[in-house]
Structure 1
Amino acid sequence: MKALTRGLMTIALLAATAACDGSPTEASSFVAGDGISAAPPPAPGTLTFTATQSYSEQTPQTASGGTGTINFTGSIYSPTPCYSVSASNANRKGVITLTVTAASTGGTCTQVITNNNYTGSISGLAAGTYTFNVVHVTNGTSETAYSSTVTVQ
């Protein structure tokens, strides 16, 4: 019976693959047992992030909700302009945490306090009310820079 079921599942997969341009998708592929692999769980949201440097202007920390999206701005300072800025996000039970990290690029650099201004969004979110936290990490030291409730439509 197991061999018959596997054979029928293989025929169904081949028919579906032929109908979909010949390449199986993750959701239509079979795993090494008798089951079908499930699609991965939804991501915590798709992060879009850009940063620019300024010696004089600092972008205020803001967050606002949109359709399936949280838009944000802010600024993380560094002791020199020789820092790269990156971000990551996590969504845990309605609390979205954006971690913005300033990491030294090394080398000799002028000692000028630099505002690393950033803007971005987290999209692909379900409608609802979220707690949105921004954590800044510079030289291994972290601090909560912003916390607010944001409503996503």
Structure 2
Amino acid sequence: MIRRAQVVDNKKTVGTPFQQSLGFRWSGVEGDPTSVVVEMQMRDDLRGPAGSLEGGVVSTLADVAGASAAARAVGTALVATEQISISLLAPGREGPIRATGVTLRVGRHDAVAEVRIVDRGNDNRLMAVALVTVRVLADRN
């Protein structure tokens, strides 16, 4: 699957129409060109039967933040996720939900980012930690 890990800071939107339909918003880069912050608001239609944010939405948020951070670090917008590993640690109930992606390694053809997801409305409770590996599909800038 090919998708653009696009960060558009003037419109504060992130990525594909699917990602935008989930309400993902780029809120800034934490001090360096290898990090990305993506936030979303809690919505009732994204809650599971127990009332917390659906795990698939959390995984998608991790994927977007990790791929965006890695794409920034390598200097291209065209990457594809090769692998994602996520540990769901606590439910997200309040929101907003914040994912911070930090690039750990940039190789010749791939990059790896770590993502930490917190529930900002619940004392920044750590909800999930993920590792995202992406394949670089376009030449670097």
TM-score by length of 1: 0.31
* Structure 1 or 2: more helix by fraction: 2
Larger Rg: 1
